[in-house]
Amino acid sequence: MFRRYLIASVAALTAAVIPGSALAQMYKGKTVTMIINYPAGGPTDIEGRIIAHHLPAHIPGKPTVIVKNMGGAGGMIGSNFLGEIAKADGETFGFFTWNPIAELLGDPGMRVRFSAFELLAGVENPVVVYVRKDTPPGLNTSADLMKTKEVKALSLDTHNTNTVHQALALDVLGVKFKAVTGYKGLKEVETAILQNEGQLANSSLPGWRASIEPTMAKQGIVIPLWQVAPPGKGGTYPRSKVVPEIQTFEEYYASVNPGKKPSGVPYQAMRAAIDAQTAMFRTFFMPPKTNKAAVVTMRAAIESLWKDEAFLKDYAKAVRSDPVLVSGQEGEAIMASLASVGPDIRTFLKDYGNDLPKRK
């Protein structure tokens, strides 16, 4: 299940940058702060706290790692804090759900771009879109979504990747919907769906596996519609191995539009918005210009963590799936891929996000 990583080369680079005894002194007796850019109790927080518990054993000097939740503004409050206020001394890092659209479009609310941070690693995650079964006229199968007159689709901030890709998917399908935005985190969205404030939403894999599936889905309140999976080889979008039972968006589209494939600018924009996120849904960042020794040390610690059986067991138990690590080198390539998105798609995404709140 797990990828093969260049741990040996990372360890060698670490040793070349700074001797082992000095590494231990760098963190010995220190407290390292992990900034989580979403509220406590949500999927990002659940994963982050498991990491914070196990990571110290893999950092030379075994420092204490504490968690600081800074939710709000679609994750921007936490990321702006890491970029503007946190010291670049190696004693603060972020465990974020990042927002590729903000990076892609240069969102003015993002005062420090993600590409300016020191990227340590990431975690791959598909996204699961789900809907209440009692949405009029009543849904027995996922295909019945196409019979609805209008659904309230709940999500985060208007310009968040979570919001935009969900809205674009519904537009590509021709489903009438009202976008209800502004929730601080996906846990709040989940609660709103449970309370029937809206009918449709999406979640990260941990949110689906650990919370929504065993409660709302098991009780027959919601059903999964599709997964948005990371890109495969040759421009394909296969089902993620961690949710093989849920059809992809492309499969769903073909099932309700026999003989057709999704295409056109809205679909291309949807994929431009979500591909980088599903390929690296969670991200480990350090502040810009953090000293190289700390960056290399923490990269090696995270890669070592992913070989820790106790950590993997706790992680899998909490999120009910095996975590797929994205190395720092792989993550940098994913972020760099945003540069290939053409100006027409960027303009479309910007206009789409601006127009979304105006839709009635």
pLDDT value, residue 6? 41
- CATH code for the domain defined by 127-275: 3.40.190.10
Could you check whether 7-124+277-340 and 127-275 share the same CATH topology?
yes
pLDDT value, residue 329? 92
SS (H, E, C) 116-176: HCEEEEEEECCEEEEEECCCCCCCCCHHHHHHCCCEEEECCCCCCHHHHHHHHHHHHHCCC
Nearest-angstrom CA–CA distance, 18 and 60: 12
CATH number of this structure's domain 7-124+277-340, picked from the four choices 3.40.190.150, 3.40.50.410, 3.10.580.10, 1.10.3720.10: 3.40.190.150
| H/E segment holding residue 315 | helix 309-319
Nearest-angstrom CA–CA distance, 319 and 309: 15
Q: Which of 46, 119, 117, 44 is nearest to 82 (CA)?
A: 117
Helix 265-279, helix 343-355: angle, nearest 10: 90
Nearest-angstrom CA–CA distance, 32 and 36: 13
| Chain segment 166-179, per-residue pLDDT in tens | 999 999 999 999 99
Number of H helices, E strands in the chain: 14, 11
| Chain segment 134-164, per-residue pLDDT in tens | 999 999 999 999 999 999 999 998 889 999 9
Domain boundaries, the chain: 7-124+277-340, 127-275
**Per the structure block, which two tokens stand in for 157?**
């901030």
Instruction: Give percent above pLDDT 90 in the chain.
Output: 77
For the chain, which residues score pLDDT lower than 50?
1-17
Contact indicator for 66, 73 with CB cutoff of 8 Å: no
- Look up the pTM and report it: 0.87
Q: How far is CA 164 from CA 56, 89, 275, 308, 338, in A?
A: 37, 35, 12, 36, 16
| Chain segment 277-327, per-residue pLDDT in tens | 999 999 999 999 999 999 999 999 999 999 999 999 999 988 888 889 999
